[in-house]
Structure 1
Amino acid sequence: MIVLAFICTLIGGIIFAITLFKPRHKLVQIASYLLFLLGVWAVSPVNNLRQPKVVSPSQVVYRFDENRYLLLTGYRCQGQVYFIDDKEQVYYQLAAHSQRVYTEPYRHPAKNYISVPLADLSAIDTSIDGGRSFKSIELGIGNYLGDHDSPQYDVVNDRAFILAKDGTLFASEQPYGYRGWDMLTKRNQKNKIIGRSQMIPDTIPPIPDDYTGWDKMQCDYDADDTILPDNHPLLEVFQQWLGTAN
């Protein structure tokens, strides 16, 4: 239909130009002029024909690198959370609703191993395949870290490390899921619950010098609604009236 509109515009314009030099063809001149105007109108944008669609605000709350990031859709920094890798075309919904942003220091240079904590560290969404699938792990029985109890959360060497304010260092299993779905501490090591491959270091391993990700999640608490544009060509409106629109 758009092609037809352009053809009508072209034909109408040509015929109208020709009839300008032949005044006796008044009827043809008027018809060609109307055809030209109809073609122009058909491909011209018409605003405010329908109410614009308003959706919840969406914002990037954390960026691992230039291609990978966490997207939050919702109000007051709470809502749906997605892990997205534009380069690898990975889109995974971590939370369908009501997830809040983790506010403590958080660095994540690891690539295939993804570790995304809930705001209160009650659970940690973990992936070992670059974000294509996730499982939830926890700090373990008897361990609890509330808001502002974790001075540092780093994910490096395909392992998550959480340093609590009391000096306790939590580390995820390596290999992932070998013993269970809990974070490990020195206490597990002393009790010989874990093998030598699960040794807990004394400190968090250093972050690579070429790390370009963020040091903390960021969120605009007062982010506004997103208004989607709703402009349609007049021809599309005609199609809607005729019932032929796609």
Structure 2
Amino acid sequence: MKELCVGIITTAVLFAAACKASEPPTQVVYRFDDHRYLELKGWDCEGELWYTDTKRGIHTKPVSQFYQIFSKTYIHPSEKYIAVPTKNVSEFIISKDYGKNWQIAVFAPETLEIRLRAWSNQSVHPDQQNAISFTVINNQGYLVIKPYDGGNKDQRNFIYMSSKPFDDSGFKSKDYIDIGLDTNYKPLQMPKSFSDWSWGTLYITNGELDQTGLKEMKKYQGLPDKVPDVKGYTGWDHMRCDMDAGRKRN
């Protein structure tokens, strides 16, 4: 009976050890500075994304599953406005309160982009292949992309940027966005409930902006035509992830 109990205990210990070994690894994948960083919990560099600010005592989970790191240049000195790119650059996960709460930022609606491309030969949507860098400074984000292969070789790189960090409370919005090109283009219809994209939640190029009614809003006026210079930055310039994290090495 004693031998049986020992056998059961040994099996339980081994089972517990096996469960512990299968716990997904957690690794720091990006450091903004000496007190803010991103962690990824999961196997093969895919899983939960956690944000920590030790100075402000913030520890939140922007993404609950399936997150994969952005592989291009990533510079982020901004503190109040935080924007985290995804691997395929389909959207950004953003916070406007130092990382306490998170939401999604999107690119200009695809229907608007397609119409503008027909007019100006701009790219339809950023992706992993044409993204060059993403910089977040002074509470604004700047995604630099190169033209698609089908574009004009003389085209310069495009910059998708967010608005200035405030909302236009006095702006009277419409239920459409007037892209004002010519009589062949109808206004882009928006839902009746549409009022505006809150600051920092829409990324658009200057070329697109110039052709829309959004240019009338103060938060979109005077946007730069290049990424602002970043000085004294102490964080990482790329995300990093070890595909073998959590596995035993020989």
Please indicate, yes or no, whether the TM-score normalized by the shorter chain is above 0.5: yes
* Residue 49 of structure 1: how far off its partner (Å): 8.4
Q: Does 1:147 align with 2:128?
A: yes
- Asked if 2 retains the 8 angstrom alpha-carbon contact of 1:80 and 1:96, the reply is yes
Alignment of 1:10-25 (within 5 A): none
- Asked if 2 retains the 8 angstrom alpha-carbon contact of 1:163 and 1:170, the reply is yes
Q: Does 1:215 align with 2:183?
A: no
* Structure 1 spans left out of the alignment, 5+ residues: 1-47, 227-246
- Percent identity among equivalent residues? 27
Equivalent residue for 1:193?
Answer: 214
How far apart, CA to CA, are the structure 2 residues paired with 1:200 and 1:164?
Answer: 17
1:164-220: CA deviation from partner (whole Å, max 9, x where unpaired): 112111111223565413212112431242234413311100012x21000000000
1:174 corresponds to which letter in structure 2? Answer: K
- Asked if 2 retains the 8 angstrom alpha-carbon contact of 1:56 and 1:225, the reply is no
* Residue 225 of structure 1: how far off its partner (Å): 4.7
1:206 corresponds to which letter in structure 2? Answer: D
Matching residue within 164, 176, 181 for 2:145: 164
* Residue 158 of structure 1: how far off its partner (Å): 0.8
How far apart, CA to CA, are the structure 2 residues paired with 1:72 and 1:126?
Answer: 16
Matching residue within 73, 77, 82 for 1:109: 77
Equivalent residue for 1:204?
Answer: 227
* Structure 2 spans left out of the alignment, 5+ residues: 1-10, 111-123, 148-156, 169-195
* Residue 224 of structure 1: how far off its partner (Å): 1.8
Q: Does 1:133 align with 2:101?
A: yes
TM-score (norm 2): 0.66
RMSD: 2.1
1:120-147: CA deviation from partner (whole Å, max 9, x where unpaired): 1111111111000111011122342121
* Residue 94 of structure 1: how far off its partner (Å): 1.3
How far apart, CA to CA, are the structure 2 residues paired with 1:93 and 1:124?
Answer: 14
- Secondary structure at 1:193 match in 2: helix
Alignment of 1:35-114 (within 5 A): 50=13, 51-52=16-17, 53-54=20-21, 55-114=23-82
- Asked if 1 retains the 8 angstrom alpha-carbon contact of 2:139 and 2:165, the reply is no
* Residue 98 of structure 1: how far off its partner (Å): 0.9
Aligned residues: 179
- Asked if 2 retains the 8 angstrom alpha-carbon contact of 1:113 and 1:159, the reply is yes
2:158 corresponds to which letter in structure 1? Answer: T
How far apart, CA to CA, are the structure 1 residues paired with 2:204 and 2:158?
Answer: 10
- Secondary structure at 2:209 match in 1: helix
